[in-house]
Amino acid sequence: MIEETATVVGVDDEYAIVETERRAACGSCHSAGSCSTTVLSGLFKRRRNQLRVLNTIQARPGQQVIVGLQETAFLKVSAAAYLIPLIGMLGLAIACQALAGQFSIATGELPAILGGLLGFMIGLFLFKRIVGHSSNDPANQAMILRQANSQSVGFV
């Protein structure tokens, strides 16, 4: 289970709106002062992310909570986010280049470039549709596990 501390900012039926602080992944590294990743992350203001999560403990606004997400759900979405647009981009680039060769269109790499861009956009659209349908499954949703100062787990 991947866990993150958050603050409840609103409640909506069995869901809660929580806010987490975006921070660099390497913020605790001992060489953070000389690392280019730290410099780049410093260029962007630290923002807060708002998420809609299952409110399994009936948390109220203002409470500090621990939000959790199953690793398998995270890995599935991460793999789909990379693979679906990539496969669409490569597939349509190859298909457009082959079609251009089939019709003896001498435009160089332009059909592959245009096909790749179109395939990438179609892949992003498909990814959004697939993730949208699976987001209603409780196994794929983030949920409030416990209050931040508590050690008991609400749902595993």
Distances (CA, A) of 38 to 26, 47, 75: 7, 15, 25
Residue 10 in contact with residue 17, Cβ under 8 Å? yes
pLDDT along the chain (156 residues), means of 10: 87 87 62 63 68 86 88 88 95 92 80 94 93 74 80 48
- What's the pLDDT score for residue 119? 96
